[in-house]
Amino acid sequence: MKHLVAPSILAADFANLQRDIELVNDSMADWFHVDIMDGVFVPNISFGFPVMAAVNQYATKPLDVHLMIVDPDRYLTAFKEAGAANITVHYEACTHLHRTVQQIKELGCRAGVAINPHTPIAHLSDIVEYIDLVCVMSVNPGFGGQKFIESTYRRIQELHLLAQKSNSNLLIEIDGGVNHENALPLLQAGAHVLVAGNTVFAAKDQRASIQLLKEISPATQIV
């Protein structure tokens, strides 16, 4: 499959949010990545339902919503109503992960599970067959602009092998420190979705930056 690119609006210019949304609409990007932070699960606060609903009002591409919050079950319906197409919860934040995944699917959303850099990939073995997406954090969650963690390549390979056994349709998404230099090796390791924040929105030519990420030759990827 051709990989997907999901610009993270956490890195957008919030004084010109509609402009940046329309820029992504007109680009080769596939999804909008929307990071929701509560200041409890991660040491930062991003935005909530009103901002997300405003993004959804102008976005013409699916909203890929990443919940970095405690007790996400309380808010799943609200995020769906605010426009989420994908809802990803953190393995580390869910006491009853299977139930949470089931609730996401019942809402008609693609169900994802995110995993922090210190959490072993093997911990996903009992849930991987039930989900649509795994978001592999390649930085410690909570802030944009962090340095990419090199062990991510090995973790992607581990997850790719796990998915081959029980869920060949699983999407492997990489979030944190993705740039034009590491995008190709990430895809070669087995990634399918690249989340890019500063690489897109801090670029002089944002559409061109997205295009560079999107046009990496699929012939060089593993299948």
Domain assignments of the chain as residue spans, ordered by start? 4-217
Q: What is the pLDDT of residue 219?
A: 58
Q: What is the pLDDT of residue 142?
A: 74
* Mean pLDDT value of segment 158-162: 96
Contacts of 78 (CB under 8 A, 6+ apart): 49
* Mean pLDDT value of segment 33-52: 93
CA–CA separation, 184 vs 164, rounded Å?
A: 21
pLDDT at 101 over 80: yes
102-115: pLDDT as tens digits: 999 999 999 999 99
Hey, is 173 helix, strand or coil? strand
Identify which of 118, 173, 194 has the alpha carbon closest to the alpha carbon of residue 149. Answer: 118
Hey, is 106 helix, strand or coil? helix
CA–CA separation, 217 vs 204, rounded Å?
A: 23
Catalytically active residues, by annotation: 35, 175
CB 209 within 8 A of CB 200: yes
4-217: CATH, from 3.20.20.70, 3.40.50.1820, 2.60.40.10, 3.40.1410.10 = 3.20.20.70
Hey, is 89 helix, strand or coil? strand
DSSP 65: E
CB 129 within 8 A of CB 159: no
193-219: pLDDT as tens digits: 999 999 999 999 999 999 999 999 755
Average pLDDT over the chain, rounded to an integer: 94
pTM of the full structure: 0.94
Q: How confident is the model at residue 141 (pLDDT cuts 50, 70, 90)?
A: confident
CA–CA separation, 37 vs 142, rounded Å?
A: 7
